[in-house]
Structure 1
Amino acid sequence: MRIDKYLWCVRYYKTRTLATTACKKGHIRINGEIVKPSRDVYPQDQIEMRLNQINYKITVNDLPESRVGAKLVDIYRTDNTPKEQFDTQELLKYSKDYYRKKGTGRPTKKDRRDIDDFYDENE
């Protein structure tokens, strides 16, 4: 089964086109090698992919016939992603919401000065 179809079947991507695009951009690796969308996947292959700022690591257990339900996904793959990846994503979500609310517009002059001061202190 093709890698783009496999990732679509196990619900990592909403469409096959998105999975194909990720392969073309080099976000997908099988056994450490960057692959094209047409590369075949076999059981026990190690897949590494970058999706939503998380580096997923999965192992292929079996190949599904077609797209499977969310409850059945664990039959076809084993998720080896470190927990720290998800923790980092959670912290990033909080850091974005902390300072400015969405839709409040561009930073004011005072906000810009505060941002510049913050970066100057961290250097």
Structure 2
Amino acid sequence: MRVDKYLWCIRYYKTRTLATTACKKGHVRVNDDVVKPSREVFPQDIIILRKDQINYRLKVNDIPESRIGAKLVDIYRTDTTPKEQFEAKALLKYSKDYYRKKGVGRPTKKDRRDIDDFTDETSLSEI
């Protein structure tokens, strides 16, 4: 089975087009080789997939006939992604939440509320 179809079948991508695009951009590796979407996948292959800033590491157990239900995904692949990948994404999310360059645009509603909360707390502590 083609690698783009396999990734679509085991529900890593919502459409075949997204899976094909990821392969063309070089986000998919099979046995440490960057592959085209038409590359055949066989059992025991190792797929490294970069999606949402996480490098997923998958081992192909079997090839499905067609797209499968979410509950059956574990039959066809083994996910060996290190936990550090998910923890790094969580930390990245927190760092992006409060990052905005000084002087770039007006404060958002959230920024305004944070500023108001901060000023209210400092005025109460002075009393």
Indicate the TM-score class for this superposition, using the shorter chain for normalisation. 0.7 to 0.9
Q: Once the 2 structures are TM-superposed, how far is the Cα of residue 40 of structure 1 from its aligned partner?
A: 0.5
User: How do residues 27-106 of structure 1 correspond to structure 2 at under 5 angstroms?
Assistant: 27-99=27-99
Structure 2 distance, partners of 1:59, 1:84, is: 18
Return 5+ residue gaps in structure 1 as ranges: 101-105, 110-123
Q: 2:25 is matched with which residue?
A: 25
What amino acid is aligned across from residue 29 of structure 2 in structure 1?
A: R
TM-score (norm 2): 0.77
Q: CA RMSD in A?
A: 1.8
Q: 1:119 is matched with which residue?
A: none
Q: Render the CA deviation track for 1:18-53: whole Å, top value 9, x for unaligned.
A: 100111111111001111100110000000111100
Structure 1 distance, partners of 2:98, 2:26, is: 32
Q: Once the 2 structures are TM-superposed, how far is the Cα of residue 99 of structure 1 from its aligned partner?
A: 4.3
Question: Given the alignment of the two structures, is residue 12 of structure 1 paired with residue 7 of structure 2, yes or no?
Answer: no
Structure 2 distance, partners of 1:3, 1:21, is: 12
What amino acid is aligned across from residue 71 of structure 1 in structure 2?
A: K
Q: Render the CA deviation track for 1:64-114: whole Å, top value 9, x for unaligned.
A: 1111111110000000100000000111111122346xxxxx8527xxxxx
Return 5+ residue gaps in structure 2 as ranges: 105-127
Point out the structure with max Rg over C-alpha. Answer: 2
Query: How many residues of Structure 1 are paired with residues of Structure 2 in the alignment?
Result: 105
Question: Given the alignment of the two structures, is residue 108 of structure 1 paired with residue 96 of structure 2, yes or no?
Answer: no
Structure 2 distance, partners of 1:23, 1:94, is: 29
